[in-house]
Structures are given as C-alpha cells and as structure tokens.
Amino acid sequence: MKNRKWLIKARRFVWPYIRWLFWLGFCTLLYAKLIEPNWIEINSLQLTLPHLAPEFHGYRIVQISDIHRDQWMTTQRLQRIVRLVNQQKPDLVAITGDLVTRNSSSLIPSLQPALEQLTPKDQTFVVLGNHDHENDTNALIKVLEQSGISHLCNTVNTIKRGKAKLHIAGVDDVQMGKNRLDLVLQQLPKDGSAILLAHEPDFANNSAATGRFDLQLSGHSHGGQIRLPFFKPMILPPWARKYYAGGYQVGNMLLHTNRGLGMTGLHLRLFARPEITVFTLVEKE
C-alpha cells in the first residue's frame, strides 16, 4: 500500500516535468523546421588585408554558399536570396560551392532565372563543392556561364583598378580530389592581394602555408546545421571539422567559413542560422 502511494506521488511530481519537456521539444522542432531555416543572417564584417591596394579600400564582397537547390530550396527561396545579396550593393559576389544537392541534376536549369539576376559591379565567381560533383557538372557549369558567373576551376581572375590588382583564385573541390593548388600558384601573379575560394574550410592549412593568400572564403559545414549552444557541433563533414563556422586566423591568412543557405539530411537548422556574409575590405595602415 505504501509503495502504491509513493508511486502515485512520484507520478504527480514527475508528470508536469514530462509535459514541460514534451512541449519544449515540440516547440524546438517547430522552430528548427519552420523558423531558423528561413531566418537569414546578414553578417557584415570589415577585414584588413595586408596586401590590399588603396584603390580597393572599401571594396565589398558578398559571399553565399551551400545553396543546395532541392525540393526545400525552391526557386522562390533562391530568388529571395538573390534580392538580399543585391541589396548589399556588392562589388563582387563569391559563391563557395554546393549549388545543388547530390543526385538533383534535373533541378540544375532552375538555378539560372535567379542567379542571372545577381548584379555585382564587377563579377560573380563560383567554385564547385562535393555535392555539385555528384551531379552533371557539365550542365551545371553551362548554366553558370549562361548566368554570367565565372567558374574558377583551379584558376585565377584579376580585378583591376587602374594599375592596382585584386586576385580572385579558386580551387576545385578538395573532398572529391579535384583541387590543384599548384596550378593556381603557377597562374597567380607575385604582386597584389589574393583571395582564395575553396569549398572546404580545413583546406586553409594548405593555402595558408603558401604565404600567398590574404583571405580564404569557404562553406561546406553549414555551421553544423543542428547544434547546441556553446558546444561544438556533433556532426561535421570531412574537411570542415576544425574551421567549421565564422572567422579564423590561420598563419598569416584570414579564413571565413560561411554557414550556408540550404540544408542536407534532416531539413532542420538549430543554432546555425543561414548566412549571407558581407565583407568590406580595408587596406593595412
């Protein structure tokens, strides 16, 4: 009898906490499903680059990454992203890979109506990611070219302001073994500030070791996509386990890892808001 009374008291004590935990979990799931994936952060940063020419002081680069065109990332969502990018009035737009989710080649043509609306003063540059290479890459590159976007496949493009130069380099995907940093360095002039686009952020250990790049822009990690505050994400992809979100100093090179805009696996985001990054470049005093 005493045991029964104790059990009834225990249930009365525990039941409110069970209900509270249930509603907390339910509301968290709704937030991660419906709110955070659509709550894009415009992350504005000022970066001092040691080799930046005075003519490029105040130059604005807008980075987006990991669009992951799929059934969730609809054309309407992508068009909204493009509008937000254009509102930042970029001089240059950098897209750091994974425009489509793996096995989604049929969706590649739907990228063009939105991407061709990007309006940087100079140019939009892109490097491919691992998901891109699990699709029809030739079709993807064709759509990018038709959209007026320059594909940096282990190549270098130079922006000029009079005699001043800003070099934008790009390596093909590291995880898929497509990167050729040696070819990039062969093409890269000895003078002028250089920025590297590389889908995988942990490649920064390699690029910083060359001593030639002031900045690397990457994505790939989604910032962990689902994480708890104050803790490192439990699940991170290869080549994004060290520099998985935000800004880092790697040797003498700056690195920024963008949290991306789309999702893979569970279409949830928790404490890893989608990100558009706006960099204002500043010359060293």
pLDDT, tens digit, for every residue of 146-189? 999 999 999 999 999 999 999 999 999 999 999 999 999 999 99
Residue 223 vs residues 137, 244, 245: alpha-carbon distances, Å: 25, 6, 5
Spatial distance between the Cα atoms of 77 and 79, rounded to a whole number of angstroms: 5
Confidence of residue 27 (pLDDT cuts 50, 70, 90): confident
Cβ atoms of residues 107 and 113 within 8 Å: no
Mean pLDDT across the chain, nearest whole number? Answer: 94
Q: What pLDDT, on the 0 to 100 scale, is given for residue 16? A: 67
**What's the rounded mean pLDDT across residues 235-243?**
97
Model pLDDT for residues 205-237, shown as the tens digit of each residue: 999 999 999 999 999 999 999 999 889 999 999
**Pairwise pLDDT comparison (284 vs 179), residue with the higher score:** 179
Report residue 279 CA to chain centroid gap.
13
Report residue 109 CA to chain centroid gap.
21
Cβ atoms of residues 258 and 277 within 8 Å: yes
Q: What pLDDT, on the 0 to 100 scale, is given for residue 25? A: 76
Cβ atoms of residues 104 and 134 within 8 Å: no
Spatial distance between the Cα atoms of 30 and 32, rounded to a whole number of angstroms: 6
> What type of residue sits at position 92?
L
% helix / strand / coil in the chain, to the nearest 5? Answer: 35, 25, 40
Q: What pLDDT, on the 0 to 100 scale, is given for residue 230? A: 86
**What's the rounded mean pLDDT across residues 268-275?**
97
Enter the tokens of residue 105: 């080649």
Residue 268 vs residues 29, 151, 234: alpha-carbon distances, Å: 8, 30, 15
Report residue 234 CA to chain centroid gap.
19
Q: What pLDDT, on the 0 to 100 scale, is given for residue 19? A: 74
Q: Across the beta sheet with 92-96, what order do the strands follow?
A: 41-49, 275-283, 60-64, 92-96, 123-127, 149-151
Cβ atoms of residues 176 and 97 within 8 Å: no
Closest of 111, 99, 100 to residue 75, by C-alpha: 111
Give, for 8, the enclosing helix (H) or strand (E): helix 2-30
